[in-house]
Structure 1
Amino acid sequence: MTIWAIFISAYFVGFSGALVPGPLLTVTVNESFHRGFKAGPQLITGHAILEIGIVALIATGFYRFVSNNTIFGAVALIGGIFIAWMGWQLAKGAIRQTIRLELDAVPSASKLGPLSLGALTSLANPYFLMWWLTIGAGYVVIAMGRGLAGLVAFTAGHLLSDYTWYSLVSGAVGSGRRYFNQTIYRSVVFCCGLFLLALAVYFVRSGISFLSG
Structure 2
Amino acid sequence: MYDIPGAFVLGFLIGLTGALAPGPTLIATINAALRGGWSAGPRVTLGHIVVEAGMVVLICAGLAAVIGTYTSLIAGVGGTALVVFGLLTVRESRSASIPEGSGHDAAAHPFIAGVMTSVSNPYFWIWWFSIGSALLIGALGGGWPVAAAFLFGHWTADLGWLTLVSASIHRGRFFLGQHGYRLTLAVCGIFLMTFGGYYLSTLLP
> TM-score surpassing 0.5?
yes
Task: Give the AA of the match of 1:28.
Answer: T
Task: Give the AA of the match of 1:138.
Answer: A
Query: How far apart in 1 are the matches of 2:151 and 2:54?
Result: 11
Once the two structures are overlaid, the 10-residue window that deviates more, 26-35 or 123-132, is 123-132
**Once the 2 structures are TM-superposed, how far is the Cα of residue 56 of structure 1 from its aligned partner?**
1.8
Query: How far apart in 2 are the matches of 1:134 and 1:176?
Result: 38
**Once the 2 structures are TM-superposed, how far is the Cα of residue 125 of structure 1 from its aligned partner?**
1.2
Match runs of 1:190-209 below 5 Å: none
**Once the 2 structures are TM-superposed, how far is the Cα of residue 115 of structure 1 from its aligned partner?**
2.0
Query: How far apart in 2 are the matches of 1:17 and 1:135?
Result: 12
**Residue in 1 that maps onto 2:18:** 17
**Residue in 2 that maps onto 1:7:** 8
**Does the 8 Å CA contact 1:10/1:158 hold for their aligned counterparts?**
yes
**Residue in 2 that maps onto 1:91:** none
Q: What percentage of aligned pairs have identical amino acids? A: 38
- Scaled by the length of structure 2, the TM-score of the pair is 0.60
**Once the 2 structures are TM-superposed, how far is the Cα of residue 134 of structure 1 from its aligned partner?**
2.0
**Residue in 2 that maps onto 1:116:** 112
**Does the 8 Å CA contact 1:17/1:131 hold for their aligned counterparts?**
no
Count of equivalent residues: 135
Match runs of 1:85-104 below 5 Å: none
**Does the 8 Å CA contact 1:3/1:153 hold for their aligned counterparts?**
yes
- Scaled by the length of structure 1, the TM-score of the pair is 0.58
**Does the 8 Å CA contact 1:45/1:118 hold for their aligned counterparts?**
yes
**Residue in 2 that maps onto 1:57:** 58
**Once the 2 structures are TM-superposed, how far is the Cα of residue 123 of structure 1 from its aligned partner?**
1.1
**Residue in 2 that maps onto 1:147:** 143
**Deviation digits for residues 71-115 of structure 1 (CA, Å, limit 9, x no counterpart):** xxxxxxxxxxxxxxxxxxxxxxxxxxxxxxxxxx96349886322
**Does the 8 Å CA contact 2:32/2:109 hold for their aligned counterparts?**
no
Query: How far apart in 1 are the matches of 2:124 and 2:168?
Result: 23
Query: How far apart in 2 are the matches of 1:135 and 1:15?
Result: 15
Query: How far apart in 2 are the matches of 1:124 and 1:17?
Result: 16
Query: How far apart in 1 are the matches of 2:164 and 2:36?
Result: 15
Structure 2 runs not aligned, ≥5 long: 64-88, 100-104, 174-205
Q: Give the CA RMSD over aligned residues.
A: 2.3
Q: Aligned to 1:21, what secondary structure does the other structure show?
A: coil
Task: Give the AA of the match of 1:133.
Answer: F
Q: 1:132 aligns with which of 123, 128, 131?
A: 128
- Structure 1 residue 34 corresponds to structure 2 residue 30: no
Query: How far apart in 2 are the matches of 1:16 and 1:144?
Result: 22
